[in-house]
Amino acid sequence: MNDVMQGWGGPIRFSRKSAYEFVPTWQRGMAQPTDGDLANFMKEGYTNSLIYACIREVATSFAELPPLHLRPDESGFAKVTDSQLVALLENPSENMDGNEFRSTFATYAQTTGNVYIQKVRRSESRDRNAFFGSVKELGLVRPDYVQIVPGVRRADDIFEIKVNGVVVARLPRADVVHWKTPNPLNDFYGQSPIATLIKEGNLDIRMTEFDLAFFQNAGVPMGLLKTASKPSPDELKEIKGAFRRMFSGVKKWFEIMVLPAKEAEFQQLGLPVKDMEMPHTRELVESRICAVFGVPPILVGALVGLMRATYANYELAQRSFWSETMHPFADSVASVLTRELLPEVRTTADRGARVSFDLSGVQALQEDNTAKLETAAKLIQTGGFTVNEALDFVALPQVDAGDFYVRQINQMIEQPVTARLSRAMLLPSTKELGNRNVPRERLAERATEALAEFFVEQSGRVVGRLPKSRKAPDVGDLLPPEEERRLLEALRVFWHEAAQAGWSVGGLEVGEITPFDPIDPAVRRLLEDAGERVGGISQETRRQLQNSLVMAREQGLSVRQTANLIRDLPAFGKARAETIARTELAIADNKGAVARYRQAGIKQVQVWDGPECGWTSHDDVDHADGSIRDIDDFESYPVAHPRCVRSRGPVIEDSLAGNGHREVKEMRCPSCRKLLVRNGAVKCDRCKEEVAITKVGS
């Protein structure tokens, strides 16, 4: 009897502790009906202009978010740069790219509350079958085509795809990613947002239709025509017909009405024209529709939003939309993809990994730094803060080569990093070297990311050139000469930036600020050095490729296995990208400064380096740190080895004392960098630190 009574309930799935999920016997193997007519909901979403605008706002916004594959590390999570999952989400099929995939996903989600992604395990494209793992393509299935056939357990469910009443496919749950909105009344399907807007949507449509009918009928409201005498049926028919003929249609709005009856009077029965729009009712309807979709009315041009439209309100609405609607929606989708799609490509390194969407590029979610920048500008204008000190004071990131003051011409000028000294020049100690190279380190971080991306793309191009058969390829075919040009283009922009930074700092150090002009022969020669070592980098890549091809041939690896072997080569890894970035930018920075020193007539430089680093190589017994070198010698060895931290500063010739020592007349406090101008032990009056000034060099 209980079974019979339960049969009248909606689709449910019972759960018990220590027991499998199950559904009532009579529901197993039967397609469960969806809540409402999903096709009608989808049609409704494209019929009501405001609902359509809300759906498109969510869909186009979600399409802008690139997917991420994140793995846990010491700092939290790190982005996987060569993720096959991200490649699949960005290129889900031959007929749809990642942007269209995300836009369509969000459209289905907002219209029906359900999204079904088919995991296509065999593609018609041979390239996709060779490149991707167990899932070759991702296909979005129209939600109104899908019905769920429950099994004994959730894993046994079947997704039945029916088109025009004909079942065209039956997919197991393992081959379907099902995202849905929360629905407390249904265990199988999500709740369509449009289903909750039936009344509001219909009211909005009816109000619009009423406005249309009003204008189509000449804008004359319903009324009563009264006459003094009772007209006969024929007279009544004639009066009504004449009235309709004279005033029906927008082209007859301005006709003059003459009533064909004695003592006739027209009395209006409908609402006055000013009240027909019912603005308060329309505002209520629009606000309810926007509330369900989580879209601020001002973003979709709703009347209730435009009435309060200001630039400040628009910015707040954008921030609210992204933080309260799009961010939770992206997290919900990412959670489902992590649970149902990530296991298809997971490796041992993906323990604890997850899928996410990159919101870092969303302008509305960025911190408004206007007030901070205004404060920093005021600090810089006082002349008491360098550009970087002012930025650091308001918790904004510092900029490369930003350690200089901005002062008016009638103010006393004090050089920041290394002063322009008339008698001598003291350069930072070895322990200050880390701070000195901070701008270069920041640039190296950006260059590392760019080069790592280049190497991933290069490995893809190399794999794409592999022959489809097991025929042994030629390394020159896999890495043709144009790859050197591409590498140079990827590196050149950062090399030039580092060289310009060294040039600018060198100018500050010698007290002569000159522009970094490519027309200047010294600058032109400096920029030409950018490609000096690219050939050697490519030669190492070819060597690793050759070794991998020999190994593949000896072990009888397939084309796919060879491709995986190539992708894992150190030549295409991030560690190599970081080594190249740090080495090349150190060379560019030092050469840029040396070029500027030459113009100023500097003949010697003081060198800072790692405490154990040699001059020509790391193991050279001639240690570099703290030594004075001829400028030609330093230009020949701007670094001693890859990742070398070598830096430099000019030696001013007129600081040489008669006793063969360079006597320090002026120096900076190592803690706060304030200039100190007395010999002997002094106390910095800014940070109160004791500073001992002694003779250096010989």
Q: Are 207 and 281 in contact (CB under 8 A)?
A: yes
Question: 78: Cβ–Cβ under 8 A, 6 or more apart, which residues?
Answer: 70, 71, 72
Q: Tell me, what's the pLDDT at 663?
A: 36
Task: Identify the helix (H) or strand (E) that includes residue 622.
Answer: none
**pLDDT at 18 exceeding the cut of 50:** no
Q: Are 35 and 186 in contact (CB under 8 A)?
A: yes
Q: Tell me, what's the pLDDT at 645?
A: 87
Measured CA to CA in angstroms, residue 83 lies from 70, 80, 347, 563 at distances of 9, 6, 11, 15
**pLDDT at 650 exceeding the cut of 50:** yes
pLDDT confidence band for 16 (50 / 70 / 90): very low
Q: Which of 310-314, 417-421, 458-462 has the lowest mean pLDDT?
A: 417-421
pLDDT confidence band for 608 (50 / 70 / 90): confident
355-409 pLDDT tens trace: 999 988 888 777 666 667 777 777 777 766 787 888 777 777 777 667 776 655 4
Higher pLDDT, 504 or 456: 456
- C-alpha span between 541 and 580 (Å, rounded): 13
Q: What is the DSSP string of 658-680?
A: TTS-B----EE-TTT--EE--SE
Q: What is the DSSP string of 128-156?
A: HHHHS-S--EEEEE-GGGEEEE--SSGGG
Q: Tell me, what's the pLDDT at 431?
A: 36
Mean pLDDT, rounded, for 609-621: 87
Structure tokens at 9: 């309930």
Q: Which of 45-59, 84-98, 293-307 has the lowest mean pLDDT?
A: 293-307
**pLDDT at 646 exceeding the cut of 80:** yes
- C-alpha span between 672 and 666 (Å, rounded): 15
Is the alpha carbon torsion for 163, 165, 166, 168 positive or negative? positive
- C-alpha span between 376 and 390 (Å, rounded): 5
324: left (phi over 0), alpha (psi -120 to 50) or beta: alpha
Mean pLDDT, rounded, for 12-19: 43
Q: Which residue has the tokens 């041009």?
A: 301
Q: Tell me, what's the pLDDT at 178?
A: 95
- C-alpha span between 251 and 218 (Å, rounded): 8
Q: Tell me, what's the pLDDT at 228?
A: 64
Q: Which of 24-28, 129-133, 239-243, 538-542 has the lowest mean pLDDT?
A: 24-28
**pLDDT at 465 exceeding the cut of 80:** yes
Q: Tell me, what's the pLDDT at 326?
A: 93
